Structure 1
């Protein structure tokens, strides 16, 4: 693994100890804001997963000890705590918080601005259990059986092995490197055979898209995207597209163009994630693709309206009017009611995250045909 140049980083153990002790105190004082769960792993290690209430990330980001979204820790025999898995700090969409207003971004952040495609799947963390074995987690959970094909982390682990085999490497090769560097790989699990989201991932596009490498520290220290790309190629993961800009103005212009088309480097994407510096620390924000958000609204309304019982599909009507953010969604709802009648088979597994993309594509084809208000052709 000598080809991957990972800068040396010394963990501030006193800081880690202080942060985790604070987490335990907050959990005791305000259990509705913070909870934890212990997982006993295959070698009898006990890792603790920390889950914060979503509102905390916005309301208490200046006072909470960490903003990490995805954090696993363990206690050593001497009482010291260690961070085993470290996700990103919770990051927000442009215009969603004070820090992500464009004037604040222009004034308070510094480049380079690394703009990476936001793949449409589930986040997966890959870390070292030892210098011979890796552990794969979802945001807050570790399956009892590491190869569990019904769990996100289990499917993620199976993909790790496939990706490594594609470049003639083993789990031990990856584990030794992760263990030595004390880092977490952050990837997106995109696999329509397991679970569909909004955008399609089939055939050779299925798998894990590596998009981040974080040191296992209390504060966020995430490595440059060029190193992430190099690591993806080294270990056989899918690389995630990125572009680097010098100024925030360039990022804003890029984001505006992407939001109009929904396209990043010729592909439909969920949006883009921007990495930069803010007050000298690593800072991230996202730019959501409006077309993706509209597609997601289709899915949300479909799930809310569908009833599937014993193989029979129907529409659950409510007295109040459906409130749509996008005008086009109203036409989708009209179309949906008709399709449930004449193509109920499309929706049998919709709530199990199957058929989502097919339904959306059928509607888009119908829309493009100009047949609104008529029958499906």
Structure 2
């Protein structure tokens, strides 16, 4: 996913102790360490219930945006039912993150001359567009990087 220029930098997402059992610091302490050492910290939300957290994640899934930009999803940091052990899991959104990931992979397969598949209907239009662009400007697809992949996607969507 593309980050606006104002949000670029090295982010500290979490701090875990090196142990067999998950032993992780709370987000509030991670944000303080990030500030103390000049890292960016992620924005985080604290909820008192699963229902409150689900309400936000469902709304973001519906809007496909958070704070005016598309996001991949969330890392949920919580505790087990008895409250004694930390637990983490991810929520990843189909749109736009997984579709954009499919476009990145399908572009690589086209360039490698390998067969491809698609889950999303819009991917078929993207494939046709990419093939046309490769014929017109093959040099523009040499040594594809993250930046150029995002650029190709933006040009297609425009």
* 1:344, distance to aligned residue in structure 2 (A): 2.2
Partner of 1:362: 155
Identify the match of residue 301 of structure 1 among 106, 109, 114: 106
Output one character per residue of 1:315-341: Cα deviation in whole Å (capped at 9) or x when no partner: x264xxx43111111111111111111
Output one character per residue of 1:191-220: Cα deviation in whole Å (capped at 9) or x when no partner: xxxxxxxx2246553331111011222211
What TM-score does the superposition give when structure 2 sets the normalisation length? 0.87
Partner of 1:338: 132
Partner of 2:89: 285
Supply the distance in 1 between the matched residues of 2:114 and 2:28 (Cα, whole angstroms). 50
Identify the match of residue 221 of structure 1 among 23, 26, 34: 23
Q: Is the 8 A contact 2:134 2:141 kept in 1?
A: yes
Partner of 1:263: 65
Supply the distance in 2 between the matched residues of 1:254 and 1:204 (Cα, whole angstroms). 24
Q: Is the 8 A contact 2:106 2:117 kept in 1?
A: no
Supply the distance in 1 between the matched residues of 2:30 and 2:87 (Cα, whole angstroms). 17
Higher strand share: 1
Supply the distance in 2 between the matched residues of 1:337 and 1:234 (Cα, whole angstroms). 48
* 1:245, distance to aligned residue in structure 2 (A): 1.2
Output one character per residue of 1:53-104: Cα deviation in whole Å (capped at 9) or x when no partner: xxxxxxxxxxxxxxxxxxxxxxxxxxxxxxxxxxxxxxxxxxxxxxxxxxxx
Unaligned runs of 5+ in 1: 1-198, 308-315, 366-377
- Which secondary structure state, in structure 2, belongs to the residue aligned with residue 337 of structure 1? helix
Supply the distance in 2 between the matched residues of 1:273 and 1:221 (Cα, whole angstroms). 16
- Which secondary structure state, in structure 1, belongs to the residue aligned with residue 126 of structure 2? helix
Higher helix share: 2
- Which secondary structure state, in structure 1, belongs to the residue aligned with residue 91 of structure 2? strand
What TM-score does the superposition give when structure 1 sets the normalisation length? 0.39
Q: Is the 8 A contact 1:346 1:359 kept in 2?
A: no
Rg larger for: 1
Higher mean displacement: 211-220 or 294-303 = 211-220
Q: Is the 8 A contact 2:16 2:22 kept in 1?
A: yes
Matches within 5 A, 1:45-194: none
